[in-house]
Copies of this chain bind each other. A is one copy, B any other.
Amino acid sequence: MDYKNENLINPEIQMLQLPVSFHKKTRQNLVEAMKGVAQGRSIALFRGDTTKPIQDQDIEENFQQESNIFYLFGVNEPDCHAVLELDTGKSVIICPRIPEAYKLWMTVKEAPYYKQTYQVDEVKYDDEFEAYLKEKNPEEIHVYFGVDPDSGLTLPLPEQPFLKSYNIVNDKMYHILNELRVFKHQEEVDQMKFIGDVSSEAHVRVMANTKPGIREYQMEALFKFHVQERTGSKEKSYDCICASGNEGPSILHYHDNQRIVTDNSLILNDMGSKYNGYCSDITVTFPSNGKFNDKQKEIYNAVYDAYISVLRSIKEGVQWQDMHHLAEQRILEHLIKIGLVVEAPIDELVQKRVGAVFMPHGLGHLIGLRVHDVGGYAPGHPEKLKDLAGLRSLRTRRTLKAGMCISVEPGCYFNKVILEQAFNNPEVSKYLNKSKIEEYTCVGGVRLEDDVLITKDGHFNLTNVPRTVEEVERACAGLPWKN
């Protein structure tokens, strides 16, 4: 066994911290936005995430901070609460008091640490929280409470028994705070560009080191190694999707990652990471042996056309749903040309949802402190659709505005279940060339996904991976890939 490798661990790691001034600004913005909503001596109370044992063991799940408390206070330790006084703007972190004896077992952080690191106005221990509240005597305690439109879930509320004697308001702050989070500050864009770059490098490294015969999870392992080795991050944006062969890439959230990569197949790697709270979400598709075959290239270029058309069109003022339709149309045009879809007016194909047979998911989602970020559906913006295939999976239908960060992820798949349904539906099947489609199921699926910042005139790309057929093939060969 010879595992020494001079370049495997490199002291020149990369780091980028959010300045405390950023959190101060987000707090000021929330105080401002809550004016006229919060009455008198009101406070906003946030519950950070907690240490969670794995089952009944004395081992814990990886900690991931709740995103609002992080956004507003920067606090990244478990078992904290935080208060923002909406009348005075004063900020208070409530931290756990950890017994002295624990210093033998762990790094114990005490009040001065929180004060110095996060530069809030005050730090209280959890056993001082009740007395603080009594003194402040707030007329309202605003908490963040709402149903997430993607998951249908809510966050747990603060549950200190002494809160019962106060007026807890849970229906005012959710959309106000979400709306602030939708529009990214420069500091946030810097963070997202940083983790986007590291994740992009990781993807390219995986492409250069993949060959037929390896297991899908080996690609996941290398991706995660690159990100943790470069940044130290153990945070999870989402489960890595490493899909190969003619079935895996057609399953949208496939993350079994157990199969052996076969020769002459496409690999769809949808992997992102999270650093200092902010997420990346990137998908590349590349040939297992480094060279696309003809069918793979045809489908790849259909998706590439959709991808580049959307990137050329997005800017402030554009409706996201129109971008979804644009991607769908581009893909349909290619499929007609190849002969998989019968020639027909594009409007008719769109109306019959033929595009959704091949791209059954939404074009993308807001991204930030969560991979599927908050604010996709909100009062005053288009509602979620219930019925239309593909469109009902859109995670937002908003009009784009500068400052939003969103993923652009068109795809074209040959999914068994969807195709069977389509072939059995006479309304749709009449547009499909079944025998020709069956020739292409070996392609599996293609998805290309970038994260971008919307600007007045276009977009700023947070992702940096090879995209054209030539670039991809160069990256697979381990060559400099940029045109």
Contacts and interface: CB of A to CB of B under 8 A. Distances in A.
A224 interface: yes
A168 interface: no
Given A104-B417, A204-B3, A415-B104, A9 B219 contact: yes
Contacts of A107: 251, 254, 256
A25 interface: no
B64 A55 contact: yes
Interface in A218-259: 218-222, 224-226, 228-229, 232, 234, 236-239, 251-258
Interface stretch (A208-216, A298-306, A312-320, A448-456): A208-216
A236 B54 contact: yes
A1 B204 contact: yes
Nearest to A6: B209
Interface in A135-157: 148, 150-151, 153-155
B222 A57 contact: no
A457 interface: no
B253 A151 contact: no
A252 B104 contact: yes
A100 B417 contact: yes
A74 interface: no
B205 A418 contact: no
A59 interface: yes
Given A209-B8, A222-B8, A222-B225, A57 B3 contact: no
B58 A66 contact: no
B64 A54 contact: yes
21 contacts: A1-B204, A3-B478, A5-B5, A9-B214, A9-B219, A13-B214, A55-B153, A56-B153, A57-B151, A57-B153, A59-B237, A59-B371, A60-B239, A61-B61, A106-B254, A106-B255, A107-B254, A217-B234, A221-B228, A224-B225, A224-B228
